[in-house]
Amino acid sequence: MSLEPRFKASDATVEKDESLYQGFFQLKRLTIRHRCFDGEDISIARELFIRPDAVCVVLVDPKLDEVVMVEQFRAGCYDHPESPWLLELVAGIVEPGESVTEVAGREAEEEAGVQIHDIQHVCRFTPTPGAVREYIDLLCARVDANLAAGVHGLDEEGEDILVHRIPVDDAFRMVREGAIHNAPSIIGLQWLELNYPRLKAEWGVLED
């Protein structure tokens, strides 16, 4: 079953586009007129946080049954009751002219010191559509986890990234127990749990 949206992008029109702040990210106020389900239309004003498109990639070693993840401080979780250091997927912003697979490869080397193979596109989603203009492409790729270790990141971007190798079953359990607190990692690991036997078969890795 496929449920198509009632309206299309052409049923909404930006009437006013105001820039409120331009820094590392951008803040806008948009006035948008759009159609309503009752046949009328309405004009709304919303502040919108603008982020460039991004890529997140699930790094898995099917021979060792490990995923490679990274830990880093996140300002948006400065008041998290447990810790603002989050366990995450390797991720990065799409630069002009880059493909999503190029971003995945660049970030896997920069953040975890590994090269990616057998890339699969999982989905494209928006994490906070009510307040943030951001689209994320979620990928999965095969890596050699033996090469993943240490602290990585670019000094000019203020990155301080610790690499972790985690048995896949432990990663799946952490999602179920609520120990992972960011949406791309939860989505990616749940997808991996559902698709892991198929991936191992496609990659020619026999189950024990």
DSSP per-residue string spanning 92-157 = EEPPTT--HHHHHHHHHHHHHS---EEEEEEEEE-S-TTTEE--EEEEEEE--GGG--SEE--GGG
Whether 88 sits among the annotated catalytic residues: the reply is no
- Rounded Cα gap, residues 56 and 90, in angstroms: 6
Strand-pairing partners, residue 164, are: 69
| Long-range pairs for 32-37: beta carbons < 8 A, 24 or more residues apart | 34/7, 35/7, 35/11, 37/6
Report which of 67, 90, 65, 57 is spatially closest to residue 197, judged by C-alpha positions: 65
Active-site position among 71, 157, 159, 202: 157
DSSP string, 160-208: -EEEEEEEHHHHHHHHHTT----HHHHHHHHHHHHHHHHHHHHTTPPP-
Give the active site residues: 157
